[in-house]
A = this chain, B = another copy of it.
Amino acid sequence: MPPLQGKVLVAQGGGPTAVINQSLVGAVLESRKFPQVTRVYGAQHGVTGIINEDFLDLTEATTHNLEQVAVTPSSGLLSTRDKPDAAYCREIFKVCKAHDVRYFFYVGGNDSADTCRIVNEQANEADYEMRVIHIPKTIDNDLKVTDHCPGYGSAAKYVAQAFGGVNLDNRALPGVYIGVVMGRHAGFLTAAASLARKYPDDGPHLIYLPERSFSKAKFIKDVKAAYKKYGRCIIAVSEGIVDSKGKAIALQFTNEKDSHGNIQLSGTGALGDLLSKWVRESTDIKRVRADTLGYIQRSFLGCVSEVDQHEAREVGEKAAQYSIWHNLDGSVAIRRIGDYAVEYFLARLKDVARDSVEMPSKFINRDGNYVTDSFKNYVRPLVGNLPTQARISAPLVPKLHGKGRAGR
């Protein structure tokens, strides 16, 4: 069988990550090595850019430019929230065919995998030879099959460094601190705050995840107990926490939905402010503060996990290799084969598309207010070393017991 000759088309979808451009550049540079690849196109704004034919000719981007883009956070090709249905996918397929695209790589989450699946089926039905590969990315770490998702490790590192700093700040000026972390249905990112704990009394002291139902009464009880024990309390809470009926705690504040029909949970301080209010009303603690980590946690310039960066690059390269060398369709996935080592494999598109995963029970403590060591072992290699932090280690000076204060 002669090699399949034609163009490569790459696009990026959904929320950006700190390393999504590594995957893009990995796919582009690897593709450019194959003689049967006539051109490498990049669609701007994901699938929207495909149906509008907004293509950049990446064959003519310099290697230096691409390497600079690789270390830049957020989607270099820009993104979209469009979630294509069958008709939309037919448009995608038609444009691909018109441009003689024979390899389509889409970097994204489960929705993007679904787009790949549909386009792939339509190409097969039309008897048009086209390889389709889904390249995984998400800060939520909620894709099926793969051990973890590129993009997660770097966002997790930001969250760990944020809570690491906040813990030091809160030690200096004690009180209750609530940090609201992204993650609509999966608590992986919020759970990464646990890496901030170095000394046994460090925060976060409590972690609330969307996988366990959230009760106001239990929350207040937990906060009081932690405050009593530590003289302060740092709480990491997922934006997606739900009550016992599965209704989002944040839901009462907003009705704005994106084009996927998802309620807007980020870009507002409402959940943090509500939890603050509850603590103020139910305790006599005066200093209560809440921050919402917001969009900065997925885009901050200059906070990246090295492992994440390398793996994101490799899944991009593997996409080109699986499809161009091996003529395969699928979703690139990561298998953990050591502590810490990984290998890559190709999952079926239908096994990754649409659905997502939550944190397994073994990662959440019995009380539902913290993570387990099993989770810490899982997440630590994905994040790597955190910056140095240390406490002063020096002996206490004996008090003179008011000797010098006799005149008072």
Contacts and interface: CB of A to CB of B under 8 A. Distances in A.
Contacts of A394: 42, 56-58, 60-61, 65
Contacts of A62: 393
A278 interface: no
Contacts of A169: 16, 73-74, 295, 298-299
Interface in A47-101: 51, 53-58, 60-62, 65-66, 68-69, 71-81, 91, 94-99
Interface in A208-226: none
Interface string A305-326: 0000000000000000000000
A393 B165 contact: no
Given A78-B171, A171-B78, A301 B270 contact: no
A161 interface: yes
A290 interface: yes
B41 A397 contact: yes
B396 A57 contact: yes
A145 interface: no
A378 interface: no
Contacts of A69: 390-392
Contacts of A358: none
A177 interface: yes
A357 interface: no
Given A60-B394, A72-B390, A172-B79, A302 B300 contact: no
Contacts of A399: 53
Interface stretch (A110-118, A330-338, A368-376, A400-408): A400-408
Nearest to A406: B94
B389 A168 contact: no
A299 B166 contact: yes
B300 A161 contact: yes
A296 interface: yes
A164 B301 contact: yes
A388 interface: yes
Interface stretch (A130-138, A240-248, A261-269, A340-348): A261-269
A338 B55 CA distance: 48
A366 B293 CA distance: 33
Count this chain's copies in the assembly.
2
Contacts of A57: 394-397
A201 interface: no
A15 interface: yes
A294 interface: yes
A2 interface: no
Interface in A149-205: 160-162, 164-166, 168-173, 177, 196
B396 A16 contact: no
A354 interface: no
B177 A55 contact: no
Contact of A94 (B164, B166, B387, B407): B407
A304 to B, nearest CB: 9
A263 to B, nearest CB: 14
Given A268-B269, A269-B273, 13 more contacts: A53-B399, A57-B395, A58-B394, A69-B391, A71-B387, A74-B169, A74-B172, A94-B408, A161-B301, A269-B292, A292-B292, A296-B296, A301-B389
13 contacts: A55-B396, A56-B394, A60-B395, A68-B389, A71-B387, A81-B173, A91-B405, A96-B404, A99-B400, A161-B302, A268-B289, A269-B292, A291-B292
